[in-house]
Structure 1
Amino acid sequence: MFDSVGWGEILVIVVAGLFILGPERLPSAAAWLGKTIRQVREYATGAQTKLRDEMGPEFEELRKPLQDLQSLRNFNPRTAVRRTLFDGDADPLGLNALKNNGNGTNGTNGTNGASTPPAAPPASRPVERLAPDERPPIDPDAT
């Protein structure tokens, strides 16, 4: 019930209740509120139990679509797009291969701690390295 209400909100409600009701009526109001919430929970639990007893196994069939709707409440569009585009691939861009080089040593050769060079790019497209102060070429038609 208090999933979306934090301690800060509860503190604000208590302080507002203290100002509105006063210190002499606040304890009785809190007791009444607690008793009412407990009674509503008991009614809901009783109704659910009675419905489950009357419907039998059909109750679970009715409950499954409701659980599916509740799962939509936690829907994250980023996760859905990532899952759709990459089909659950944990490393879609191959970044782990660059870090680990496939030998389990996380980029080191294990003898002196020097890192191994990255894997060579595919032979179909040579890579041209730029000098440290050289600007990359600009294609005006591409922009």
Structure 2
Amino acid sequence: MFGIDAEKLFVLLIIGALVLGPDKLPEYAAKFGRLVRELRRMASGAQEQLREELGPEFDDIDWKRLDPRQYDPRRIIREALLDGPAQPPQTPSTKTRGETAAPFDSEAT
């Protein structure tokens, strides 16, 4: 949560309890509880609204397939330029006189 580990969160809670004091602590704890419940309600409402707008296909979406971290830009460009899945380059078995083949680097951009 916000890059804070458990020990730091515990220290912040202790400092908050000391600053607020025993008389205001229950009031602020109740406010925090209402805030968390309201955020959960809003999140579930947004999810329900999204389901209604997208229809029944929403449940069938493979979200892991749509994860942008899995994309390799080089592969996408290569497939777009070749109009299909990338295949390894094929070298000609015979060369005519005077022809030279440039080396192919599959990792080059």
Determine which structure has more spread, i.e. the larger CA radius of gyration.
1
User: What is the TM-score normalised by the length of structure 1?
Assistant: 0.38
**Larger RCO (CA under 8 A, 6+ residues apart):** 2
User: What is the TM-score normalised by the length of structure 2?
Assistant: 0.48
Greater share of residues in helix: 2
